[in-house]
Structure 1
Amino acid sequence: MALRGRLPGRRAVTTDRAVRAHLALATVAACALGLVLPETAALIRHCRPVPGANPPMLMLLAAMFIGGFEVRAADAARALLRPGLLLAGLGVALVLRMLVLLGAERAADCWPDPHEALWLVVGLSLTATMPVAGSAQTWGAKAQANAPLGLGLVLATTLLSPLTVPLGLVLAEEPEAGGPRQVLDALARSDSTCGFMALWVAAPCLAGLAARRLTRGLVGGRFRAAVLPWLRLLGLLNALGLTYLNAAGVFGEIGRRPEPRLVALALLAGGAVCAVPFLAGWLTARQAHIERDTTAALTLATGLNNTSAAAALAGSQFSGHPAVLLPIFFYGMTQQLLAACAPRLLRARDRRGSRTPYGPGGSRGPRGRHRARRLHAPNGRRTPRGPGRRRKVPRPPAPHPPATCTDVPMPSPRPDFTRT
C-alpha cells in the first residue's frame, strides 16, 4: 500500500525529469503547435474566466506562485552569504541589458519605417527590463551552475521588478524625442506598469514562499512532499502553454499581415539584443577570474529574461498592436536556444583550459604531475614518444665513487719471522 501511495509522486517526478531533459525540443514543439493551431490559442486568449484577467495573465500568476513554492529557505539563505557577488550579478544582469537596449534604439532610428521601429523598440524594451526567468534554474542545473547564486538573482530581480521595470523603461527612453520614447515614457510613468509587476509577478512569488513555509509542518511534512512534484510538473507544463499562446499570437499576426521585412527585422533585433547580454555576461565573468559555476550562473542570469511577463504586460497595455509581440517571441526563442548551447560551450572551454599549466591536466595540476613524470626522463631529457605509445628511458646506473684510503681501511702488514 505504501508503494501504491508513492507511485503518483514518482510518476510526476519521472515525467518532469523527462521533459526537462529535452526542454529545448519541448519548446520547439510548443511553437510548432502554435503554428498549426493558432485559432485555438486565439479563443483561449480572448476568454475572460476572471473579470479583468485573461488566461495568459492567470498562467503567469500560477507560474510565479509555483516558482516561489519551489524555493527552499536554505538555498535562499546561502545566496545571501555572498552579498557582494549577488549585487555584482544584479548589476551585470540589469545594466548590461540597458546598454544593449540603448544601442538597439540607436540602430532603430536608422530604419526607414518609423512605425515598424516603434513597436519593435517597445517590445525589446519590455523584454530587456523584465526580471531573470525562472528557467535559469533549469538550464543552470544542466550547466552545473552556482544554484544559490542563480536562485538569489531570480528572487531579487522578481521581487524588485515593481521598481526596476519602470526605472529601466525610464533609462531606456529619451523624453525629449518622439517615436518609441514617448510610448516608453508614458508606460514608465503609468501606475499600471508598477501595479502589474507587483500584482502579477512579485505578489504571487511571495505567496508561494509563504505557502511553502506554512505547509512545512502540515501532516508531518508529507503533504508538501506529495504536492511538490505535481506542482513542479504543472509549472513546467504551464510554461510550455505560455510558449504555445505567444507563438500562436505571433504566427497568427504574420498570417494576417505577411510582412517579410518586419519579421526579418524582428528576428534580427530580438536575436541580437538577446545574444549580446549572454556574451557580455560571460566575458565579464571571465575577466573577473571567478569559478566556473559562478560564471555559468552569471551568464545565464544575464541572458535569460521572463518573456512570459513581458508578453502578458504587452497584451494588457498594447492589445491593439499585436506587432509588439514579434520581438518578444523571437527574443524568447533565441534565449532558449542559447541557454541550451551554454552547457556545451562552457564544458568545451573547460577542456581547452585544462591544457594550461594550472588546469586539471596541466603540468602543475593534479593529473599533470604524473604526466610530467611520464614525459620527462630522470636525467632531464624529454622522452621520445610516438602517437599512441609510451616509451620509457632506462635509468642510468649510478656511478660508484672511487675508493680512497679514508674510505677503505688498509690492513696492517704482518711481521715476517722467518728472516729473524
Structure 2
Amino acid sequence: MVVVKAVQRWLLVLMLVCYVLAGVFPAPGEALRGLVLPPPAGALTVPMVLLAVMLCNAGLGVRVGELRAVGRRPARLVLGIATNALLPLLVLPVIAVALRAWPDPAEAEGLVIGLMLVLAMPIAGGAASWGQNAGGNVPLVVAMVIGSTLLSPLTVPLGMRLAGQLVGPSGAGALDDTTKVDVIARTGAGFFALVSVVLPCLVGVLVRMLLGEDRTRRVLPVVKAVNLVNILLLCYINAAGALGQALAHPDPDLLVLALGLSGAVCCLAFCCGRWMSGWTRCDQPDGISLTFATGMNNSSAAAVLAACWFSHRPEVLLPILSYSLLQKIVAGAAGKPPRSRPDETPRQAPAPETAVRPRG
C-alpha cells in the first residue's frame, strides 16, 4: 500500500503527466474513446464505463448511517446542493455576454459549452476528501454529493438547455453544433447522468450495505488501487482528443483564455461557498463543507460527456480539462488543515472510510 499512498500524494502531478502524454501520443486515447461495448450495452463507451467504475467506488465509501444525522438538519444540505446547482445560471450568461467581443465566435461558444458542462455536473466526490482534510463536516459534504448526484438527470439537461440559449443566434453567435446541444439537452444528458453517474453511485452504496462494514474494510485497499489507475486512464483518454488537436494546430490565445476563464470561475465558486457559509453563520465544519461542495464539480463526468459529443471541438474540452486541474489546486490551497491554538486539543474530523479520494 506504500505505492498507493505515493500515487495519491502525487496524483496531481501524475494527471499532468497524463495530459502531456495525451498531447504527444493521442492516438491510443482516441482509439479507446471510440470503442463502444457490444450489445446489449451498445450505448456505452469505454470512458462511460471507467466513469461508472469511479463513481461506484465513491459510493462504496459512503456510510449510510452517518447520513441520518444530516437528514435531521436539512437546511445546510439543501443550501449546498442548491448553491452548486444555481451558480451556473448566474455565471454563464455573464461569461457569454463578455465573450461576444472574442474575434472567433466558434471558440467563444465552445468555451461557454465546456464551462456549462462542468458546472452542470454534480458535486465532485473529492469534495468529501478535501473537506475532511480541512476539518469539515464529512457526513454533510457526503450527503451533498449524494443529493447533487441524484438530481443530475434534471440539472444536467437544464444546464445544456441554458448553453443552447447562450450560444444560439441570440447568444454569443451562430454555433454549428446548436442542434446537437438541443439534442443532448432533450435526450443524451439525462440518459448519461442516470447511467454513468446516478446508478453507479447507488450501486456502490448498496454493495457496501450488502457486504457489511468488516468485509468492506478488507476490500477497500484493492478498490483504492484500482480506482487510482482508473482515474489516470480516464484522464488520459479524455485529454487525448483535445490536447492532440491543440498541439497539432496550436492556438496560444485560446489556451490562455480557457485557463483564465476556468480559473476565474473556479475561484468564484469557492468564494461563493465561503461567502454563503459566512452569510448563514455556519459553524466552522459546516462552513468548510459548504465551501467545498459549492466549489467542486465532477469534471471527469463533464469530460466524458464532452468527448462523446464534441470530440471534434477541442475548445469545448479545453476549459473542462483546465477546470479539472485548477479546482484541485484551489482546493489544495483552501483545504489546508486549520491551525489549532496552543491551548486547544486538535480536533479530529469524523473521517469515513472512503474507497478512494474521488476526483471530479
Supply the AA of the counterpart residue of 1:289.
Answer: R
Structure-2 separation of matches of 1:90 and 1:324: 25
Aligned residue in 2 for 1:97 = 88
Structure-2 separation of matches of 1:184 and 1:49: 23
The higher relative CO (CA closer than 8 Å, separation ≥ 6) is in: 2
Aligned residue in 2 for 1:24 = 12
Structure-2 separation of matches of 1:277 and 1:195: 27
Offset, 1:17: 3.5
- Measured against aligned partners, the alpha-carbon deviations of 1:35-74 in whole angstroms (never above 9, x if no partner) come to 4433332232233344333221110111111111221111
Q: In the superposition, relative to structure 1, how do residues 171 and 254 fare at CA in structure 2: closer, same or farther (>3 Å)?
A: closer
Q: Is the contact made by 2:23 and 2:247 (CA closer than 8 Å) also made in structure 1?
A: no
Answering whether residue 198 of structure 2 is matched by residue 202 of structure 1, we say: yes
Aligned residue in 2 for 1:48 = 36
Aligned residue in 2 for 1:393 = none
Answering whether residue 27 of structure 2 is matched by residue 34 of structure 1, we say: no
- Measured against aligned partners, the alpha-carbon deviations of 1:384-409 in whole angstroms (never above 9, x if no partner) come to xxxxxxxxxxxxxxxxxxxxxxxxxx
Q: Which has the larger radius of gyration?
A: 1
Alignment equivalent of 1:236, drawn from 225, 228, 232 = 228
Offset, 1:255: 1.6
Q: Is the contact made by 1:97 and 1:277 (CA closer than 8 Å) also made in structure 2?
A: no
Structure-2 separation of matches of 1:95 and 1:211: 32
Q: Is the contact made by 2:67 and 2:139 (CA closer than 8 Å) also made in structure 1?
A: yes
- Measured against aligned partners, the alpha-carbon deviations of 1:198-243 in whole angstroms (never above 9, x if no partner) come to 1111111111122222222xxxx65433222211222233122222
Alignment equivalent of 2:319, drawn from 302, 327, 351 = 327
Q: In the superposition, relative to structure 1, how do residues 17 and 300 fare at CA in structure 2: closer, same or farther (>3 Å)?
A: same
Aligned residue in 2 for 1:144 = 135
Structure-1 separation of matches of 2:3 and 2:205: 24
Aligned residue in 2 for 1:3 = none
Structure-2 separation of matches of 1:52 and 1:154: 26
Answering whether residue 191 of structure 2 is matched by residue 191 of structure 1, we say: no
Offset, 1:323: 2.9
Structure-2 separation of matches of 1:256 and 1:90: 40
Map 1:103-252 to 2 at 5 A: 103-172=94-163, 173=165, 177-178=170-171, 179=174, 182=178, 186-187=182-183, 189-216=185-212, 223-252=215-244
Structure-1 separation of matches of 2:10 and 2:247: 29
Aligned residue in 2 for 1:315 = 307
Supply the AA of the counterpart residue of 2:28.
Answer: T
Answering whether residue 77 of structure 2 is matched by residue 81 of structure 1, we say: no
Structure number with higher helix proportion: 2
Structure-1 separation of matches of 2:15 and 2:134: 18
Q: In the superposition, relative to structure 1, how do residues 316 and 38 fare at CA in structure 2: closer, same or farther (>3 Å)?
A: closer
Offset, 1:257: 1.5
Answering whether residue 259 of structure 2 is matched by residue 271 of structure 1, we say: no
Structure-1 separation of matches of 2:104 and 2:202: 43
Supply the AA of the counterpart residue of 1:201.
Answer: V
Structure-2 separation of matches of 1:184 and 1:295: 39
Q: Is the contact made by 1:104 and 1:273 (CA closer than 8 Å) also made in structure 2?
A: no
Q: Is the contact made by 2:25 and 2:244 (CA closer than 8 Å) also made in structure 1?
A: no
Offset, 1:341: 1.1
TM-score (norm 1): 0.73
Aligned residue in 2 for 1:261 = 253
Q: In the superposition, relative to structure 1, how do residues 156 and 285 fare at CA in structure 2: closer, same or farther (>3 Å)?
A: same
For structure 1, the 5+ residue unaligned runs are 1-10, 352-359, 368-420
Structure-2 separation of matches of 1:58 and 1:286: 39
Q: In the superposition, relative to structure 1, how do residues 166 and 52 fare at CA in structure 2: closer, same or farther (>3 Å)?
A: closer
The number of residues matched between the two structures is: 337
Could you tell me the percent identity over the aligned residues? 35
Offset, 1:132: 0.7
Q: Give the root-mean-square deviation of aligned CA atoms.
A: 2.6
Aligned residue in 1 for 2:280 = 288
Q: Is the contact made by 1:79 and 1:152 (CA closer than 8 Å) also made in structure 2?
A: yes
Q: In the superposition, relative to structure 1, how do residues 251 and 318 fare at CA in structure 2: closer, same or farther (>3 Å)?
A: closer
Structure-1 separation of matches of 2:79 and 2:145: 14
Aligned residue in 2 for 1:386 = none
Aligned residue in 1 for 2:62 = 71
Supply the AA of the counterpart residue of 1:273.
Answer: V
TM-score (norm 2): 0.85
Partner-residue secondary structure (3-state), 1:320: coil
Aligned residue in 2 for 1:58 = 49
Q: Is the contact made by 2:88 and 2:116 (CA closer than 8 Å) also made in structure 1?
A: no
For structure 2, the 5+ residue unaligned runs are 346-360
Q: Is the contact made by 2:120 and 2:156 (CA closer than 8 Å) also made in structure 1?
A: yes
Offset, 1:289: 2.6
Structure-1 separation of matches of 2:92 and 2:255: 19
Moved more, 161-170 or 223-232: 223-232
